[in-house]
Amino acid sequence: MDTNGWARRTIPTLFERSRSGANDGSHVPPADGPAPAALLGDDADLLADAPPPLPEVGEAEVVRHYTHLAARNMSVDANFYPLGSCTMKYNPRINEWAASRDGLAALHPLAPAATAQGALRLLHELETYLARIAGLDAVTLTPAAGAHGELTALKVITAYYHSRGEGRSKVLTPDSAHGTNPASCTVCGRLAVPIASRGDGRIDLDDLRAKLDDQTAALMITNPNTLGLFETDIADAAELVHAAGAQLYLDGANMNAILGITRPGDFGVDAMHFNLHKTFSTPHGGGGPGAGPVAVASHLEPFLPTPRVVHREGAYRLLWEAPQSIGPMRSFAGQFAVCVRAWCYIRALGGEGLRRASETAVLAANYLAAKLKTVLPLPHDERCMHEFVLTASRRGASDRGLAGRIAKRLLDYGFHAPTVYFPLIVEEALMIEPTETESLATLDAFVAAMREIVAALDEDPHALDDAPRARSVARVDETAAARQPVLRWRPRM
């Protein structure tokens, strides 16, 4: 991608490139509506006295400017992106095409149902597909991300218990959980209680048994878990949770490993969220966009947020009134464009295709794990699911910070860094998720890079101190970035 070295060159801002007269606007047709002053009427004095100080640059310069800036970024389109847990797979372009059709992209969220039957049908069908994949009874598409799905489901569970006159303020989460799990509990006013992991990385049933009581609302579990291991005791855990009158909640961020192979409803889950942007193709990163639909068993359905998408008397519509609902969790019916992409992805692959995607993701992860465990230790050395966690800590204290430095050197090789320092239960963790969309050649190139990096390190413990060398930004001072953030940038004019 970066054949001209744009990753390293200083790129002047458009303001710095501005030349008076470079763009006289002659290729833009004159506006044919009323003059701004006429539109403003009595408020015409609000008009600025002079045009805004925009840079004057030609169209080709603008295009090249942004293309060069884009070349400085790591992206799924340009680089292998083995960011564990995030499922950064290649996103088929046809989904982008579909999501940008005028009839879908330009549809007003308040359009009368009669004029939006196709869009409502798409949402309704997507709910049906996700319910089937989950092995559960009902789905809401409204949550805007995985974490928002967790919060939505916790509110649903809380409302369910309130309807039965029960308080139940505790939510149990394994110590390998994603940070959003305890955070969502806190935002929902529940108390997050950690459950220990056993030596083999699975939930400790004895600790679960000890902490379950009549104040427990749910066990919030990720399966496959954040070590990339299937929770082999999940059925027993479900039985314990249900015997205590609590709910089993699944963080479904790792569904990429089990689509069509097992259904959460079959292993005892009462409620779960999907991350559409991870499992069902939407380019994501840098904070969005995403969607975190929640699937529930029938006893929780009455409490799902509004609006619900319903199909009655041959027509689709949004239902805003539901007596026991927790109410809206956001504006309108959800992240519509993300839902369109997920619908397309599911329709294009079909049941067989989804299963094959998961099988391929698991195969790719096991291939990489088998190769890379000869480079760095694999603490939980067994058949993994769609991801696995290496440790850069071979010598204890003197290896502190090594996972971060290896990650930064990988950038010099043109690979995005894996997830580092998560899950917290593995020291110097490097969490690697190849996904199903990478070729064998790419996986082999990644192994070769890792081998070279670790060999260089073994020769010279300071070999990675200057990483990354080949990117636009060298090693950043993360402490200063956190303590003295620069939140405002002014153009030099």
**Given the complex with ligand PLP, which of 18 and 142 has the nearer CB atom?**
142
> Taking CB under 6 A as the criterion, which residues in 409-438 touch ligand PLP?
none
For residue 222, state whether it binds ligand PLP (rule: CB under 6 A).
yes
Among 130, 136, 139, 145, binds ligand PLP (CB under 6 A): 145
Measured CA to CA in angstroms, residue 435 lies from 190, 255, 308, 362, 426 at distances of 34, 12, 33, 8, 22
Q: Which residue is nearest to ligand PLP (CB)?
A: 146
User: Cα–Cα distance between 213 and 157 in angstroms, integer?
Assistant: 16
Torsion sign across C-alpha atoms 41, 46, 51, 55:
negative
Contact of 273 with 293, CB cutoff 8 Å: yes
* Identity of the residue, 116 or 420, whose beta carbon is nearer to ligand PLP in the bound complex: 420
Quote the tokens at residue 26. 């002659």
Residues 319, 313: contact at Cβ < 8 Å? no
Give the burial class of 201: count Cβ atoms within 10 A of its Cβ; 0-12 exposed, 13-18 middle, 19 or more buried.
buried
* The binder of ligand PLP chosen from 201, 260, 292, 418 (CB under 6 A): 292
Query: Which residue(s) pair with 203 in the sheet?
Result: 197
Q: Does 146 help bind ligand PLP (rule: CB under 6 A)?
A: yes
User: Order of strands, edge to edge, in the sheet holding 429-432?
Assistant: 388-391, 429-432, 419-420
DSSP 271: E
Q: Does 366 bind ligand PLP (CB under 6 A)?
A: no
Exactly one of 275, 391, 393, 437 binds ligand PLP (CB under 6 A); that residue is: 275
CA 410 to chain CA centroid, nearest Å: 22
Check binding of 247 to ligand PLP (CB under 6 A).
no
Pick one of 204, 231, 251, 301: the residue that binds ligand PLP (CB under 6 A).
251
Residue 281 sits in the site that holds ligand PLP (CB under 6 A): no
- Identify which range of 122-130, 145-153, 199-207, 430-438 contacts ligand PLP by CB under 6 A: 145-153
Nearer to ligand PLP, 257 or 309 (CB): 257
| 253 counts as binding ligand PLP under rule CB under 6 A | yes
| Residue entry with tokens 């919060």 | 151
Stretch that binds ligand PLP, among 73-81, 139-147, 339-347, 376-384 (CB under 6 A): 139-147
108 contacts: CB under 8 Å, gap ≥ 6: none
Task: State how far the alpha carbon of 94 is from the alpha carbons of 79, 235, 305, in Å.
Answer: 20, 39, 31
| Number of residues located near ligand PLP, criterion CB under 6 A | 13
Task: Return d(Cα 418, Cα 424) in angstroms, integer.
Answer: 15
Q: How far is the CB of 204 from ligand PLP (least distance, A)?
A: 19
The reply on whether position 223 binds ligand PLP by CB under 6 A is no
Which H or E element spans position 125? helix 117-134
Smaller CB distance to ligand PLP: residue 2 or 387?
387
Q: How near is the Cβ of 84 to ligand PLP at its closest, in Å?
A: 8
**With binding defined as CB under 6 A, does residue 147 bind ligand PLP?**
yes
Q: How far is Cα of residue 369 from the mean position of the Cα atoms in its chain?
A: 23
Q: Which is nearer to ligand PLP, 180 or 247 (CB)?
A: 180
Binding mask 70-89 for ligand PLP (x = CB under 6 A): ---------------x----
178 binds ligand PLP (CB under 6 A): yes
Nearer to ligand PLP, 62 or 183 (CB): 183
Kindly indicate which of the ranges 92-100, 126-134, 141-149, 305-313 contains the residues binding ligand PLP, using the contact rule CB under 6 A.
141-149
At closest approach, how far in Å is the CB of 481 from ligand PLP? 21
Q: Which is nearer to ligand PLP, 95 or 181 (CB)?
A: 181
Query: At CA 215, angle to CA 213 and CA 221, rounded to 5?
Result: 75
CA distances in angstroms from 70 to 1, 47, 63, 97, listed in the order given: 10, 35, 11, 21
* Region of 63-71, 142-150, 151-159, 198-206 interacting with ligand PLP (CB under 6 A): 142-150
Q: State the DSSP string of 199-249.
A: TTSSB-HHHHHHH--TTEEEEEEESS-TTS---TTHHHHHHHHHHTT-EEE
Q: Which of 158, 180, 279, 281 binds ligand PLP (CB under 6 A)?
A: 180
Name the site residues for ligand PLP (rule: CB under 6 A).
85, 145-147, 178, 180, 222, 226, 251, 253, 275, 290, 292
